[in-house]
Chains A and B, each alone.
Chain A
Amino acid sequence: MSGLSSDRRRRPRIETSTETGLAVQVTGATKVFSVARGKQVVALEGIDLGVAPGEFVSLIGPSGCGKSTLLRLIADLDQPTSGTVSVFGKTARQARIDQDYGIAFQQAGLLPWRTVAGNIELPLELHRASTAARRMRVAELLALVGLSDFADRYPDQLSGGMQQRVAIARSLAESPELLLMDEPFGALDEMTRERMQNELVRICAETGAAVVFVTHSIPEAVFLSDRVVVMSPRPGRVREVIPVDLGSAEDRGDDLREATGFFTAVSAVREALHGSPTETGAPARGVDNR
């Protein structure tokens, strides 16, 4: 509940954080998958990544470059072949057991036999929160994602965007200090997607959680992030980390999508991704509306 109090603003503390103060610290992580007949796939190689409390970090790169794998290492759904992953100074496994993170995937992954409210309260129920506390928290979260009128609906009665909002509410249920999201808006249409991005910025500001966000959309990464981690494939490596300084959450609205700073950052990420400068500049639509 404290996670929702509005006095906790997103304030990246990259410079001040010591090693143990980081939300996520990945050091020299390598992940090798053994596939058929002794063949091996190096999904990640020598990954170093630190995420400060309250910081929003996006992972971007072509598909197959190991974004999901990296996220799964942080979530302790997979273990690194070598290197270490620590979350809030603990092992990833301990952090998972302590429920230090909330997670959302590309597919909402709602349980079809549970109502919207039932899905959101699943983690609370599993961890034996009292009925009263559960009811209160679910009401808060429903309001947060704008689905208060849909508490008793079932997932098959919701649009894809609504399902995704339920999944995000569920990931926030236990007020985690860290959110892990793997292309959560990947299956949504562009309009819904932008609305969801706006909402996510607001939610992050309200909860103060650190976020590791996987995406393959450059504008999405830039719009949401404090830093964009650009990855390259075969083997998956961090190619470049691009700081995006677009101001605090309150200032990030639809206007931002048309600001010059936004396009500068988009170009920077695009260059990093493609490895050479591109002559994009500010597209026309950014100019008219100013």
Chain B
Amino acid sequence: MTRSRPVLLGVLGVLLLGAIWEAYKAFGPTDGVVVGGLTVLPRTSDLAMPHLITMFTRLGEPVTSAPGSPALWNAVLQAAGFSLGIAAAGWVIGVVVGLLLAMLMQRFRTAESALLPWVVLSQTVPLIALAPLVAGWGSQIRFGESRWQDWMSVAVIASYLAFFPVSVGALRGLESPEQAHVELMRTYAVGWWTTLMRLRLPASIPYLLTALRLAAANAVIGTVVAEVSIGLRGGVGRMMVEYASASSGDPGKPWAPIFGAVLIGLVAAGFVALLGLALKRYRRGEVVA
């Protein structure tokens, strides 16, 4: 009962959004709402705001009119799978780096004061500036026979966005145990590592799960944006740009990769939710006497 409630509300929210879309399209001003020369609400033409049904039926049709062209949903699904793989790689790297940084900062107070400002500053560098830099550095790296690939640059950028919430969240989590618990471990005469594994890490899990969810969202956004700025083919990011330019006669088409990106986000969020389910016992609160 209680578990299905959020899902139900989520579905309801999506339906409401669809209803608003169609209602505005039906009753909104044809030229949109313009305030001081600025369009604040879009025009309601079929081109700017296609019917929902147009978007969905378009998914079932072939990508292009060329013979043998696969169905649009199929192409989108493939692109989404490709992007999801890169986002997952970026997420894993980001989580590992974030956790290591958090442990370092927890272990050494000086590391915290030295690193934390840089961790925060790192997020103010715009992706657009970062992408060519990463691609440039990558092109100079060779591992034996194999060479740096563009998808690796995208994964690195995704991880750059993903590590931030993890390092900050994990640090808070690692420092969350009460003094009494820390002292208990001291009376057991165990070292930092054992205290980390038996006390700090388990105690940090509620914080960590939130951080992992944020990191997943960041990794997906980072992947899509970096695909565009690096120009990597095969993912939904590039697909969005391509389809948008071809949209004049085919208003339903650009929405397909957007649905693909939403799907990636849902899968990522679902994965973290499953993780939370598996770690359920670490999310209990102790009732004080």
Convert B179-210 into 0s and 1s, putting 1 for each residue whose CB lies closer than 8 angstroms to a CB of A: 01101101111100010001100100100000
Determine whether the beta carbon of B189 is less than 8 Å from that of A156: no
The DSSP consensus for interface residues of chain B is helix
Chain A residues near B5 (CB-CB < 8 A):
none
Determine whether the beta carbon of A156 is less than 8 Å from that of B198: no
Chain A residues near B198 (CB-CB < 8 A):
122, 126
Determine whether the beta carbon of A77 is less than 8 Å from that of B183: yes
For B287, give the chain A residue with the smallest CB separation: A156
- Cβ of A14 < 8 Å from any Cβ of B? no
| Stretch from A5-13, A109-117, A267-275 at the B interface | A109-117
Chain B residues near A159 (CB-CB < 8 A):
289
Determine whether the beta carbon of A163 is less than 8 Å from that of B289: yes
Residue in B190, B194, B199, B289 whose beta carbon sits within 8 Å of that of A108 in the complex: B289
| Stretch from A45-53, A97-105, A207-215 at the B interface | A97-105
Residue in B186, B189, B205, B287 whose beta carbon sits within 8 Å of that of A155 in the complex: B287
- In the bound assembly, the distance between CA atoms of A127 and B188 in angstroms comes to 8
The DSSP consensus for interface residues of chain A is loop
- Cβ of B284 < 8 Å from any Cβ of A? yes
Chain B residues near A113 (CB-CB < 8 A):
202, 205, 281-282, 284
Determine whether the beta carbon of B289 is less than 8 Å from that of A99: no
Residue in A101, A156, A187 whose beta carbon sits within 8 Å of that of B284 in the complex: A156
- In the bound assembly, the distance between CA atoms of A77 and B205 in angstroms comes to 27
Chain A residues near B36 (CB-CB < 8 A):
none
**Residues 140 to 158 of chain B near chain A (Cβ within 8 Å):** none
- In the bound assembly, the distance between CA atoms of A105 and B183 in angstroms comes to 11
Determine whether the beta carbon of A187 is less than 8 Å from that of B289: yes
Q: How large is the interface on A (under 10, 10 to 19, 20 to 34, 35 or more residues)?
A: 20 to 34
From known contacts A97-B189, A113-B202, A126-B188, infer whether A156 and B285 are also in contact, taking CB-CB under 8 Å. yes
- Cβ of B35 < 8 Å from any Cβ of A? no
Residue in B180, B183, B194, B286 whose beta carbon sits within 8 Å of that of A156 in the complex: B286
Determine whether the beta carbon of B187 is less than 8 Å from that of A154: no
- Cβ of B7 < 8 Å from any Cβ of A? no
From known contacts A109-B180, A113-B281, A126-B198, infer whether A96 and B187 are also in contact, taking CB-CB under 8 Å. yes
Chain A residues near B282 (CB-CB < 8 A):
113
Convert A137-165 into 0s and 1s, putting 1 for each residue whose CB lies closer than 8 angstroms to a CB of B: 00000000000000000111011110110
- Cβ of B53 < 8 Å from any Cβ of A? no
Chain A residues near B129 (CB-CB < 8 A):
none
- In the bound assembly, the distance between CA atoms of A188 and B288 in angstroms comes to 11
- In the bound assembly, the distance between CA atoms of A164 and B289 in angstroms comes to 8
Determine whether the beta carbon of B180 is less than 8 Å from that of A112: no
Determine whether the beta carbon of B284 is less than 8 Å from that of A126: no
- In the bound assembly, the distance between CA atoms of A153 and B205 in angstroms comes to 20
Determine whether the beta carbon of A107 is less than 8 Å from that of B180: yes
- Cβ of A123 < 8 Å from any Cβ of B? yes
Determine whether the beta carbon of A126 is less than 8 Å from that of B181: no
Chain A residues near B284 (CB-CB < 8 A):
112-113, 154-156
Determine whether the beta carbon of A107 is less than 8 Å from that of B288: yes
- Cβ of A75 < 8 Å from any Cβ of B? yes
Determine whether the beta carbon of A111 is less than 8 Å from that of B199: yes
Determine whether the beta carbon of A112 is less than 8 Å from that of B285: yes
Chain A residues near B189 (CB-CB < 8 A):
96-97, 99
For A160, give the chain B residue with the smallest CB separation: B289
**Residues 248 to 289 of chain B near chain A (Cβ within 8 Å):** 281-282, 284-289
- Residue numbers of A with Cβ under 8 A of B are 75-77, 96-97, 99, 101, 103, 105, 107-113, 122-123, 126-127, 154-156, 158-161, 163-164, 187-188
A-B contact pairs, 22 of them (CB 8 A): A75-B187, A76-B187, A77-B186, A96-B186, A97-B189, A103-B187, A109-B181, A111-B202, A111-B286, A113-B205, A122-B188, A122-B198, A126-B188, A126-B190, A155-B286, A156-B284, A156-B287, A160-B289, A161-B289, A163-B286, A187-B288, A187-B289
List 20 additional contacts besides A77-B186, A99-B189, A156-B286; criterion CB under 8 Å: A75-B187, A77-B187, A96-B189, A97-B189, A99-B188, A101-B187, A103-B184, A103-B187, A105-B180, A107-B288, A109-B180, A109-B181, A111-B181, A111-B286, A112-B284, A112-B286, A122-B198, A156-B284, A156-B287, A159-B289
- Residue numbers of B with Cβ under 8 A of A are 178, 180-181, 183-184, 186-190, 194, 198-199, 202, 205, 281-282, 284-289
A-B pairs, top 3 by smallest CB distance, nearest first, are A160-B289, A112-B286, A187-B289
